[in-house]
Structure 1
Amino acid sequence: MTAKKKKAQNNAASTTSTDKEVDELIRLPFEPAQTRPKPSKQVAPVKQGATVQGATSPAKAFAKRQPNISPIPEVVNRRMVSRAAKFCGIPTAGALLTFVVSYVLIANDFFKPPTVVVLLVSLGFFGLGVLGLSYGPLSASWDEERVGHWLGWDEFKLNFGRLQETWKAAKYEKDSPPSA
């Protein structure tokens, strides 16, 4: 009897961990946990690696199960990724080139830059790369038909304003008393 009880408990534990993994897999990374709709009991949980018919990614599978949530359009997604790659990749390449250039300068006896200068310049470039990783998606136009400027400052101001409004609304929801 005890062995059967333990086996049943292990099966129950594995089911709940799988359900948690599925929830984490299909939850969008920017979706707040409090406002996430509860899955209905009629919908069978999606197993890891499985997709809803016609959906190719967990986010699309989630959007298919939840009709009021739409995924980011493919055009806008590609625009965000390419801008993030540019605004992050170029400074990161500069940070790595700092080491190569300083090595060439020292090896050919042109000039011996102080180690602190090489370190600070490379850290500065790496820092710009980290900032560029966030600036890239925010500077992309979130409108499918409009590409936007190559630098994207106007789009950044608009999109950052949208984020601030969302943060304020989430804070207001969190701070407001629950309605009866």
Structure 2
Amino acid sequence: MASEPQPKSKADNTPKESSQAKERLPFEPKKNAKKPAKNQPVTSVADKKDNKPRSVSKEAMAIPEAVSQRMISRMALFSGIPTFLGIATFIISYFVVSHAWFNLPNPVVVLVSIGFFGLGALGLTYGVLSASWDEETSGSKLGWEQFTTNWGRMTAAWRSSKQKN
């Protein structure tokens, strides 16, 4: 009988599974996936053992709804606030200049707004990577632990794809 991943214990928050299964993402399909229905679209995925392609439905490859909602809410927070501040920079600078409170050089206004928009773009990335990719675990408020875990997964995937090419 194939070993299946054990549920996470609440005390240590780590899965009790083999080292090979630890590398698998929570929403990545299992190796012993059932054949997709006739009407479902199919993608080809190479099996790690013998590099033979196997069929996996797109539904099995999809990010779970709970993880997706968690990512969206974090992206809205970490990207929305800096983007709002970038827009607010133009509005505030307009009032400062139009009321002649003090002289603001145009390059300062542009650089400050570009800085906030840049933080908003970084916030999109941080929002996705700081969300817990496990359906049952919501993660921490800022998500630094999840970010480091997910960043490691992403860089490992980049390295492995580079080595294949």
TM-score class normalised by the smaller sequence: 0.5 to 0.7
2:85 aligned with 1:94: yes
Which stretches in structure 2 are left out of the alignment for 5+ residues? 1-37, 44-54
Give 2:122's aligned residue: 131
Give the aligned length: 116
**1:160-179 aligned within 5 A:** 160-174=151-165
Q: What is the CA RMSD across the aligned residues, in angstroms?
A: 2.0
Shift of 1:70: 2.7
| 1:132 partner letter | G
2:139 aligned with 1:148: yes
User: Structure 2: how far apart are the matches of 1:118 and 1:67?
Assistant: 50
Give CA-to-partner distance per residue, 1:129-154, whole Å, 9 cap, x none.
11111111001011111111221111
User: Structure 2: how far apart are the matches of 1:155 and 1:122?
Assistant: 29
Which stretches in structure 1 are left out of the alignment for 5+ residues? 1-42, 44-51, 54-60, 175-180
User: Structure 2: how far apart are the matches of 1:150 and 1:112?
Assistant: 40
Shift of 1:125: 0.3
2:56 aligned with 1:66: yes
Write 1 or 2 for the structure with the bigger share of strand. 2
| 2:56 partner letter | Q
Secondary structure of 1:98's aligned partner: helix
1:84 to 69, 75, 88: 75
- What fraction of aligned residue pairs are identical, expressed as a percent? 47
Question: Quick check: which has more Rg, 1 or 2?
Answer: 1
User: Structure 1: how far apart are the matches of 2:69 and 2:126?
Assistant: 15
Shift of 1:72: 0.7
Give 2:149's aligned residue: 158
User: Structure 1: how far apart are the matches of 2:142 and 2:62?
Assistant: 25
| 1:125 partner letter | F
Secondary structure of 1:66's aligned partner: strand
User: Structure 1: how far apart are the matches of 2:57 and 2:95?
Assistant: 58
| 1:80 partner letter | M
Give CA-to-partner distance per residue, 1:30-49, whole Å, 9 cap, x none.
xxxxxxxxxxxxx6xxxxxx
**1:47-62 aligned within 5 A:** 52=39, 61-62=41-42
| 2:74 partner letter | R
Say which is worse superposed, 119-128 or 147-156, in terms of deviation: 147-156
User: Structure 1: how far apart are the matches of 2:97 and 2:61?
Assistant: 55
TM-score (norm 2): 0.64
User: Structure 2: how far apart are the matches of 1:116 and 1:159?
Assistant: 37
TM-score (norm 1): 0.59
Shift of 1:66: 2.4
User: Structure 1: how far apart are the matches of 2:136 and 2:70?
Assistant: 12
